[in-house]
Amino acid sequence: MCAALGARTLLRENNLPDFACQIAIAERNNRLGIKIRISGGGKCNITHAGEMMHVLAEGFLRQGEQRFLKPSFFELSNETVLSWLHSKGVQTLTRENGRIFPRSGKADDVLCVFEELLSEHSIEVLLNAHVQSVRKENGVFVADVDGAQIQSEHLLIATGGVSYSKTGTTGDGLRFAKMFGHTIVNPISALAPIYFTQKPPSDLIGVSLRNALLIAETPTRKLTRKGDVLITHLGISGPACLSISRDVAEALTADRVSLFVDCFPDESEQLLEQQFISFQTARAGQFVRTFFEERLPNAIVPTLFAQAEVPLEQKWKNLSKPMRRSLTAISKKYFLGDVKEVPIERGEVSAGGVALHEVNPKTMRSRQVENLYFAGEVLDVAGEVGGFNLQAAYSTGWLAGESVAKALLDEGESLNYSN
Ligand SMILES: Cc1cc2nc3c(=O)[nH]c(=O)nc-3n(C[C@H](O)[C@H](O)[C@H](O)COP(=O)(O)OP(=O)(O)OC[C@H]3O[C@@H](n4cnc5c(N)ncnc54)[C@H](O)[C@@H]3O)c2cc1C
C-alpha cells in the first residue's frame, strides 16, 4: 500500500498524469491489510514514537537490520504516517512505552485511511487476486493470477512473511524471489510463544513473573531478555519470551535450548546470599518461603524450593549453608523447561526471507534482477513488539515505490517523455 502511495506521490510531484502510469496491487484476500486489522489484538500498534534513529535502535536489535532499514526509515518516518491518519480524522494515542495506537482502539480505522488514500491516488486494487507465479519475459514481468496474466515493467514483491498463514501469508513471495535467483534465509519464528518438551504443571499455568530476566542456554551460548514472562499450558509467552523467541528459534536449529529465569535480576547472587545470611538471625523464626511469597507469585514457590531441594517448611534459623547456597543459585536460575519448538505459525512475524545483501537498501531494488523490488516482512528483517514491524513495512514500501517512480521518470526522460 505504501509503495503504491510512494510511487504515485512522486509521479504526481513530477507532473506525470495518473493515466500515464498504472499502479496496481494484487491481493489474494477479499480486502487489503488483514494483518493491520488483526495487529495489536485488533487495536493496531501503528508505529513507535521517537526519533527514527531511536526507533531503529529500539525496534531492531541486529546491527545489520538497523543499517539496512536506516535509509527507508529516514525516507518515510513515523511522523509522516501519523500525519496521514490525523489528516483523515483518525486520532492517535501514544502510550508511555512509546507504542502508538488509534485513539478509537480500532485497527479498522487505520486500514480505512489507507484504503481512502489508495483510492485518492488512483491505485488499482485487485482483490481475490492470488498470484500463483511470476516470471520475466523480454524485460516484462508476467504474473499468473487465477488463469489471467498481469504484465508490468516493474514488480514489487511485498507478500509478507510465513506466519499466520491463514491470513494469506504462505511464503509465496519467497518462492518467487528464489525463482528469480535470490538467496532465501530460512524463515524462522519471531515474536512467538515458546513450547517446552514437558508441559508446565497445571498450577503454574497463567503465572506471570514480572520484570524477570529470561535466560536461554545452549551448551555454548547464553541469551537473555528482561521483561515479564507468562507461563502457558505449553510453555511460556509474554514480552520477554516474544523478544527472545527469534534467537531461541535460531539456536534450536543447531542445539538443545533450555530456559531459566532469574527471579531477582536486580540483585547479584552475592547480594542475595548476604540478605539470606542476615535473615538467618533477623527472621530466625520465620519460614524461608515467606520472603519468596512476598516477592514472587505464590504458585512458583513450591517448585522453586523443590528445585533447590529445600523443604517448604524450612525456617531461616536452621537453614544450612548448602541449602542457602542452593536457594540463592535457583533464585537466580529457576528452570522453566527445555525448548521443544518456537511455532512459526504463531509468530507475530517471521524472521528470515530475502537475503538483505541482495537488495539495495537505498532503493529496495533487487541487486539480481532489474526492476524487481522487495519491501516489508518478505525481507530478512524482524523487529520487536512495539509498532516497529508495521513501520518497517511502511518505510521499505514507500522507498520501493519512490524508487520505481524515479526509474520511470528517468526512462521517460531518456525517451523525451513529458506530460
Ligand atoms: C497477530 C499479529 C499481530 C501483529 N501486531 C502488530 C502490531 O500491533 N504492530 C506492528 O508493528 N506489527 C504487528 N504485527 C506484524 C505486522 O503485521 C507485519 O510485520 C506487517 O503487516 C508486514 O507487512 P507486509 O506488508 O510486509 O506484509 P503483510 O501485512 O503480511 O501483507 C502481505 C499481503 O500479501 C498478500 N499475499 C501474499 N501472497 C500473495 C499472493 N501470492 N498473491 C496475492 N497476495 C498475496 C497477503 O494476503 C497479505 O495481505 C502483527 C502480526 C500478527 C500476525
- Chain position carrying cell 542452593: 326
Strand 372-374, strand 155-157: pairing: parallel
Q: How many CA atoms lie within 13 A of 108 on its CB side?
A: 2
- Check pocket membership of 38 for ligand 1, CB cut-off 6 A: yes
DSSP per residue, 371-401: TEEE-GGGBS----SSSHHHHHHHHHHHHHH
Run of H or E including 143? strand 140-145
Ordered by start, the domain boundaries in the chain are 2-188+345-414, 190-264+337-341, 269-334
> From ligand 1's centre to the CA of 357, what distance in Å?
22
Tell how far the Cα of 329 is from the centroid of ligand 1, in angstroms: 43
| N-to-C CA span, the chain | 25
Given CA atoms 107, 385, 84, 160 in this order, what sign does their dihedral have?
Answer: negative
Three-state secondary structure of 216-230:
EECCCCEEEEEEEEE
Does residue 242 contact residue 192 with C-beta atoms inside 8 Å? yes
Handedness of CA 96, 98, 99, 100 (dihedral sign): positive
Pocket flag, ligand 1, residue 387 (CB < 6 Å): yes
Q: Are 147 and 46 in contact (CB under 8 A)?
A: no
Which residues contact residue 252 at a Cβ distance below 8 angstroms, ignoring those fewer than 6 apart? 339, 341, 342
- With a 6 Å cutoff on the Cβ, whether 169 touches ligand 1 is yes
Cβ partners under 8 Å of residue 335, min gap 6: 258, 259, 260, 307
Tell me if 27 CB under 6 Å of ligand 1. Answer: yes
Best CATH choice for the domain 2-188+345-414 from the list 3.20.20.120, 3.50.50.60, 3.40.50.300, 1.10.3720.10:
3.50.50.60
User: Any bridge partners for residue 24, and if so which?
Assistant: 124
Q: Does residue 35 have its Cβ closer than 6 Å to ligand 1?
A: yes
Query: Could you tell me the pTM of the whole model?
Result: 0.95
Cα separation, 260 vs 156, whole angstroms = 43
- List, in order, residues 6 or more apart from 381 with CB less than 8 Å away: 60, 65, 68, 69, 351, 353, 356, 392
Q: Return per-residue pLDDT of the chain as tens, 419 residues.
A: 999 999 999 999 999 999 999 999 999 999 999 999 999 999 999 999 999 999 999 999 999 999 999 999 999 999 999 999 999 999 999 999 999 999 999 999 999 999 999 999 999 999 999 999 999 999 999 999 989 999 999 999 999 999 999 999 999 999 999 999 999 999 999 999 999 999 999 999 999 999 999 999 999 999 999 999 999 999 999 999 999 999 999 999 999 999 999 999 999 999 999 999 999 999 999 999 999 999 999 999 999 999 999 999 999 999 999 999 999 999 999 999 999 999 999 999 999 999 999 999 999 999 999 999 999 999 999 999 999 999 999 999 999 999 999 999 998 765 444 43
Fold exhibited by the domain 190-264+337-341: Elongation Factor Tu (Ef-tu); domain 3 (2.40.30)
